[in-house]
Chain A
Amino acid sequence: MIPAAFDYQRASTLDEAVGLLSANGEDAKLLAGGHSLLPLMRLRLATPALLIDIGRIRELSYVRDEGDRVAIGALTRHRDLEISEALRAHVPILAHVAAQVGDPQVRHRGTIGGSISHGDPASDLPAACLALGATFRAVGPKGERTIAAGDFFRGFLETALAADEVLTEISVPKMDGAGWSFQKFNRRAQDWAIVGVAAVTGANPGVALVNMGMTPLRATAVEEALASGASGAEAASHAADGLDPPSDLNASADYRRHLARVLVRRALEEAAA
């Protein structure tokens, strides 16, 4: 299919992007790699009146070592995360997860900022950010603010970003050799996860789930069980507690709950190994 017609503006700086967003409100959408938005537009499931192309704002593409954290520009492509020496050394789960997104062609275009701000519960990178305890920086007309990953995902494809805000940076703590695992369960390699699990052990442990609800989410019941000293297997049995995962062609809600328990157990085993 072909997208419905729209207007197109190119922002060459962050300020320009924020200005265009503020001026056009809800009718405008940001376009970075376009790999979340354009597929929806082609099926005419999204019909924005204006696309603001921020893909050329070079200053938003970087991976920077900042002492105990690594900062990632929102326009950094999945491929760049995958091969980033800083991430491989200090936040290996993120480099690994980036390499699991979509397929190579998608990874050559798609950006971490696009993936995070789209807020799709079936995406891999939001779960990795949740498990890592990442923080997101957003810039709007009133300046910039920092949002914890745990506070960012609000509803189905809905985030804490205001309509006139641009996500600019993802900051993740260094893992300092902590164990980790990413379990992506799908039927074909290129597909979204039916269920996915990102797990980090060590000083700042976290477990997050892909496609287990309306948003990317933390497996809080698992994290609490682990904090109170439960074994991995015992904690994993709580993986679906309180969750209301979707039903679709590939999986009923019940099957997703079952998968979450199996995959969290495997993730915790692998992270501990």
Chain B
Amino acid sequence: MTAVEVPPRVVGTRLRRREDPALLTGEARFVADLTVPGTLHAAIVRSPVAHARIRSVDLAPALALPGVVAAYTGEDLQGDWAATLPCAWPVTADMKSPAHRPLAVGTVNYVGDAVAVVLAESEYAAHDAAEAVVVDYDPLAAVLDLEDAASDRVLVHEDLGTNVSYTWELSPDPDAVERAFAEAAHTVSGRYVQQRLLPSAMEPRGVLVVPHPFGGDFTVYSATQIPHILRVMLAVTVGVPETSLRVVAPSVGGGFGSKLNVYAEEALALALARKTRKPVRWIEERSEQAVSTIHGRGQIQHIDLAADAGGRITAVRVRLLADMGAYLQLVTPGVPLLGAFLYTGVYDVGAYSFSCTSVFTTKTPTDAYRGAGRPEATYAIERAIDALAREMDLDPAEIRRRNFIPADRFPYDSVAGLVFDSGNYVAALDRCLEIAGYEELRADQARRREEGDPRQIGLGLSSYVEMCGLAPSRVLASLNYSAGGWEAATVRVLPTGKVQVVTGTSPHGQGHETSWSMIAADRLGISPGDVEVLHSDTAVAPYGMDTYGSRSLAVGGTAVYLATERVIDKARRIAAHQLEAAEEDVRLVAGQFQVQGSPDRAMPLAAVAFEAFTAHNLPEGMEPNLEASSHFDPPNFTFPFGTHLAVVEVDTETGAARLLRYVAVDDCGNQINPLIVEGQVHGGIVQGAAQALWEEASYDDDGNLVSTTLADYLVPSAAEVPTFETDSTVTPSPTNPMGVKGVGEAGTIAAAPAVMNAIVDALSTHGVSDIDMPASPQRICRAIQEVRP
């Protein structure tokens, strides 16, 4: 046998995604595509008022309609719950958390709060019936403004006695902060409002619960990011043994955190399937989603910077007021904490204090939305450092350079208590400025200013670091999170040499099937096409912590890597035994186990797998089959970083801001598939830019959400954004063997401050120093007019 040619490594290549053909041809099945004969369709009656006592609910008009099978109020289902809906993150021991039932009992606490449910034989009949239910409300005052909520003037939940859920502080050395501010040559302060956002995954939520006629088992098909967590939580909430629940996330059309939850409708569908012994299906409508799916952001941020005469930041002080909404959903209270460690950004800062007060309002609950805490933190520090640059008349690039954590200081102990794994911040900035042609852009800006052009341009930088790869379980424990942060993988080589990877991550657009197959194939020296990836079904992949927080690759991908290594170790022992060689002399080269020095003594992986399968001739004491698992719990977070630059043209007459160019240089460590990495960055940029320019979940004075449709909630289209200029630097993470970091949230974290810094930069000669997001034409126009003498 001659030596085989070594195939090129597949990791690092732009392999086209294996997920695509099914999605491109309509073969992929989302929850709404699944049909089971005899299914009952659920529609929810929702509160049209922000805060009220429920006087009465009259289901009779709904029950009288054709095709209607049943209808229930919250009172009717009181006995169907084993527990209230879960919040898994009690951030403090004395955190206040109201009882959250799948259907409201007694009072409603936000517009959209579920009041009753109807079941009908068709979707149309269910909707007609929901319209026919008559609810009599006794209105209470709405609680909308965060500062007003904190004052406890009107209580959202009377039984809690306060609207403050918790106050959480991180202040390692308060005296040092005091001292730094007392001695500062420059200080700047900002009050930034993180408006509420609707995550707006293109696929609305949906759930189908199919009861099995014998044994009391249920299969739950849900548009969820977290089938594993959902299974545990539904078992606890609805009182069904975990062993009787199978949760499947079929094709899921995006999540961005909004499907990282345990929702009332999921619990309802399960309880009603149990009650009626029929399949129950609920599909969310877009205008319903605006109130029934969690919102993102919703914070008021106060940030103060102290700096020395050279513009070096000596202290950062942050106070947050965070909007929980009416209830605590799965990780609602933890979101501000995910940002708490990053308000010093990419800068070498010696003193830091942070406090967060989180309050209830009569609005839809907030929870993790793409970035969850980290975009907010990055926004505050990046806006504030630009303010410091203006105060000192320094270029924003220059002030960043003066403050970056130097590349030779990694691993870096941050003042907030983290260890940043690796980084080279100045390299990303330099590359970004080079691609952009920063000096020419500044010259264009100067020319337009000189000419008094009504169309001014602004340059906005944003240098960020994020913590991803959630996460070391011990660190999560120290933050009172109720679960771990490990991830599971199993790798099996089947008798024919094909490989199965079972992962506990649950993709919904990220391309895990492609990337995980690349990781396994790369180690095994086979084609990724010979690797199948099984996921998102608790019957197939029983262990997992699912997909959120840019954790999947750094934690789940690493588990795949480690399981593959274990499989290779076992295969090597089998091959050595078969080839009658010493184990340490056998190497895996291009899918063949070869005896070092005699390449004609070799066994392909498939042959080893077949030996493992037949178990006719295995080393003494070895178990049959070629399979191994890994449960990887990372020793640290990973810390991706980068610098983005937005070039925005502002029409100073109309207030219109247009994104002219956008340059992004990101460093997510080693890349498995650059095609997928770039895609994540592109999409993230638009979501971040959308917060800056278009999107806002607006409430009126009565607590009605006004932007309930995609006609009012302005998710941008292709016509509103430019083609992006992206590049990357590569600083591997020492935290995991592949040196990967994660990239799912980078664009979103960086983009909002870049765009807002650009707008403020464009208008700085007009005297404008701050504009709230979204920077709508009206807001920009007003800002210009307000400072005009």
> Would A262 and B719 count as touching, CB distance under 8 A?
no
> Would A249 and B706 count as touching, CB distance under 8 A?
yes
In the complex, what distance in Å separates the CA atom of A52 from the CA atom of B464? Answer: 58
Q: Is the interface of A mostly helix, strand, loop or mixed?
A: loop
Chain A contacts with B in 239-273, Cβ cutoff 8 A: 249-252, 255, 258-259, 262-263
CB distance from A237 to the nearest CB of B (A): 13
CB distance from B422 to the nearest CB of A (A): 40
In the complex, what distance in Å separates the CA atom of A271 from the CA atom of B709? Answer: 36
- The size of the chain B interface, using a CB distance under 8 A, is 27
> Would A255 and B778 count as touching, CB distance under 8 A?
yes
Residue numbers in B under 8 Å from A252 (CB-CB): 778
Residue numbers in A under 8 Å from B776 (CB-CB): 187, 250
Residue numbers in B under 8 Å from A203 (CB-CB): none
> Would A250 and B285 count as touching, CB distance under 8 A?
no
In the complex, what distance in Å separates the CA atom of A44 from the CA atom of B656? Answer: 34
Q: Smallest CB-CB separation from B288: which chain A residue?
A: A1
In the complex, what distance in Å separates the CA atom of A208 from the CA atom of B285? Answer: 38
Q: Smallest CB-CB separation from A39: which chain B residue?
A: B711
In the complex, what distance in Å separates the CA atom of A43 from the CA atom of B707? Answer: 14
Asked if B694 is at the interface of the complex by the 8 Å CB criterion, the answer is yes
B778 is contacted by which of A4, A43, A190, A250 (Cβ under 8 Å)?
A: A250
Asked if A189 is at the interface of the complex by the 8 Å CB criterion, the answer is yes
Chain B contacts with A in 242-296, Cβ cutoff 8 A: 285, 287
> Would B711 and A262 count as touching, CB distance under 8 A?
no
Asked if A191 is at the interface of the complex by the 8 Å CB criterion, the answer is yes
> Would A262 and B720 count as touching, CB distance under 8 A?
no
Which of B121-129, B355-363, B660-668 is the contact stretch?
B121-129
B711 is contacted by which of A2, A5, A191, A255 (Cβ under 8 Å)?
A: A191
In the complex, what distance in Å separates the CA atom of A255 from the CA atom of B782? Answer: 8
Residue numbers in A under 8 Å from B778 (CB-CB): 250-252, 255
In the complex, what distance in Å separates the CA atom of A262 from the CA atom of B454? Answer: 11
B694 is contacted by which of A187, A189, A190, A255 (Cβ under 8 Å)?
A: A187
Asked if A188 is at the interface of the complex by the 8 Å CB criterion, the answer is yes
> Would A43 and B287 count as touching, CB distance under 8 A?
yes
Asked if A62 is at the interface of the complex by the 8 Å CB criterion, the answer is no
> Would B781 and A188 count as touching, CB distance under 8 A?
no
Asked if B19 is at the interface of the complex by the 8 Å CB criterion, the answer is no
In the complex, what distance in Å separates the CA atom of A255 from the CA atom of B784? Answer: 12
Chain B contacts with A in 709-743, Cβ cutoff 8 A: 709, 711-712, 714, 716-717, 719-720
With A2-B124, A249-B706 known as contacts, the answer to whether A187 contacts B777 (CB < 8 A) is: yes
> Would B782 and A188 count as touching, CB distance under 8 A?
no
> Would B782 and A189 count as touching, CB distance under 8 A?
no
Residue numbers in A under 8 Å from B709 (CB-CB): 43
Q: Smallest CB-CB separation from A194: which chain B residue?
A: B777
With A187-B714, A188-B717 known as contacts, the answer to whether A259 contacts B654 (CB < 8 A) is: yes
A189 is contacted by which of B124, B127, B656, B719 (Cβ under 8 Å)?
A: B719
Asked if B444 is at the interface of the complex by the 8 Å CB criterion, the answer is no
Asked if B308 is at the interface of the complex by the 8 Å CB criterion, the answer is no
Q: Smallest CB-CB separation from B700: which chain A residue?
A: A249
Q: Smallest CB-CB separation from A192: which chain B residue?
A: B711
Chain B contacts with A in 722-775, Cβ cutoff 8 A: none
Asked if B578 is at the interface of the complex by the 8 Å CB criterion, the answer is no
Residue numbers in B under 8 Å from A258 (CB-CB): 781
> Would B654 and A262 count as touching, CB distance under 8 A?
yes
Residue numbers in A under 8 Å from B596 (CB-CB): none
A190 is contacted by which of B656, B717, B777 (Cβ under 8 Å)?
A: B717
Give 13 A-B contacts (CB < 8 Å), ordered by A residue.
Answer: A2-B123, A43-B709, A185-B656, A188-B714, A188-B716, A188-B717, A188-B719, A190-B717, A249-B698, A249-B712, A250-B776, A255-B782, A258-B781
Binding site for B on A (CB under 8 A): 1-2, 4-5, 43-44, 185, 187-191, 194, 249-252, 255, 258-259, 262-263
Top 4 closest pairs, chain A to chain B, by CB: A189-B719, A255-B778, A262-B653, A2-B127
